[in-house]
Amino acid sequence: MHKRIWTALVAVFAVVAAATNAAAAYPEKPIQLIVPYGAGGSTDVLARAIAQVAPKYFSQPLVVVNKPGGGAIPGRVDVARSKADGYTLLFGWGSGEDLVVPHQRPLPYDLFKDFETVCRMSVHSIVLAVPAASPHKTLADLVKAGKSKEYTTASVSTKGASVDITFLLFGKAAGIKVTTIPGAGGADAITKLVGGHVDFGGGHPSEVLPHIKAVRLRALAVALDKRDTSIPDVPTFREAGYDVVTAGSVKGVAVPKGTPKEVISYLEKKFKEIADDAEFQKIMNDIGQPVMYQGAEEYKVWFKQAYDQFGSLYKSLGIETK
């Protein structure tokens, strides 16, 4: 009996030692950051900003790999199925595909069983804006006009994603019928809004800020519980009198399940250092993506809460789910 316990203990020790050993050597080759979206999008830009400052903190280069298409699901499948050795990282963990889409349709992986959370880098809030030529100066103007017509059109990046849900939720809270027009991604949605083809629309600060500066768009509200630091003079929906608060586009990092604990905490620590880096913060500020770092444990709790919130929003909005 004792002998068995000893054998087991030795075995455990050996495994742990081997793992620690491996971790000590990590990273010994370039680390891939898998971005399941196209180049030039907000997640891609974040990953590239990190890769740029990474040499200060990592002994190996971080390589950004775009795997766009397929509704950003194939890129996630790739990461879930890749070797759990800390050399393949998923970027954009906590986006609409993770918090919202699972409530719509089954996915080829288990969100909570196939991935391990590393950290959160940024939260991109959702801004509601109208074309500059629009007569509406406040959210109340927009709602007043909306009440007197059959429906109000809103341009959104993708159906069922966070921007879409937020605007539908706003319609419900304000008692107006909002018809959302999904586009081919954020840039397409903003182009239609700037061209005045819809009543309102919006997206993330980095997408609308340049147009607000150029007086092509006017921001009316932001869907956070407090004002966004990148557009401090825009009120929240709550301040305007409508109870709409959504998580927006959350950008975190995940690795395949089974990645050694040491590797995860190594990555967590390094990304924290990057989040505190002055050069990185300046880049992020310039592109309108506030750095909002959370460590693994804290982010896991936050992630689950946001996931559940979108689930109940889906039910309350009565959007068809498959």
The residue ranges that bind other proteins (CB under 8 A) are 38-41, 44-45, 48-49, 51-52, 61, 63-64, 66, 69-71, 73-74, 101, 105, 108, 150-151, 153, 158-160, 179-184, 187-188, 190-192, 194-198, 209-211, 213-214, 216, 282-283, 286-287, 322
Instruction: Show the tokens assigned to 39.
Output: 């180049």
> Using only C-alpha atoms, what is the Rg of the chain?
22
Q: Based on CB atoms, which residue is closest to other proteins, 205 or 260?
A: 205
Instruction: Answer positive or negative: Cα dihedral of 166, 112, 36, 267.
Output: positive
Q: How far is the CB of 208 from other proteins (least distance, A)?
A: 11
Instruction: Show the tokens assigned to 2.
Output: 């004792």
| 288, 123 Cβ separation under 8 angstroms | no
| 178, 226 Cβ separation under 8 angstroms | no
**In sequence order, what are the residues at sequence separation of 6 or more whose Cβ sits closer than 8 angstroms to the Cβ of residue 288?**
204, 205, 206, 209, 230, 231
Q: Based on CB atoms, which residue is closest to other proteins, 195 or 241?
A: 195
Instruction: Show the tokens assigned to 178.
Output: 């909002």
Q: Based on CB atoms, which residue is closest to other proteins, 27 or 260?
A: 27
Q: Based on CB atoms, which residue is closest to other proteins, 88 or 117?
A: 88
Question: What does the alpha-carbon distance between residue 47 and residue 313 come to, in Å, rounded to a whole number?
Answer: 30
Question: What does the alpha-carbon distance between residue 25 and residue 109 come to, in Å, rounded to a whole number?
Answer: 30
Q: How far is the CB of 108 from other proteins (least distance, A)?
A: 7
Write the burial class of residue 153 (CB in 10 Å: 0-12 exposed, 13-18 middle, 19+ buried). Answer: middle
Q: Based on CB atoms, which residue is closest to other proteins, 192 or 272?
A: 192
Q: How far is the CB of 142 from other proteins (least distance, A)?
A: 17
Q: How far is the CB of 220 from other proteins (least distance, A)?
A: 20
Q: How far is the CB of 274 from other proteins (least distance, A)?
A: 14
Q: Based on CB atoms, which residue is closest to other proteins, 86 or 288?
A: 288
The answer to whether the peptide bond before residue 256 is cis (omega within 30 degrees of 0) is: no
Q: How far is the CB of 261 from other proteins (least distance, A)?
A: 30
Buried b (16+ CB within 10 A) or exposed e, 157-175: bbebbbbbbbbbbbbbebe
Q: How far is the CB of 278 from other proteins (least distance, A)?
A: 13
Q: Based on CB atoms, which residue is closest to other proteins, 186 or 260?
A: 186
Q: How far is the CB of 206 from other proteins (least distance, A)?
A: 8
Q: Based on CB atoms, which residue is closest to other proteins, 269 or 282?
A: 282
Question: What does the alpha-carbon distance between residue 162 and residue 140 come to, in Å, rounded to a whole number?
Answer: 22
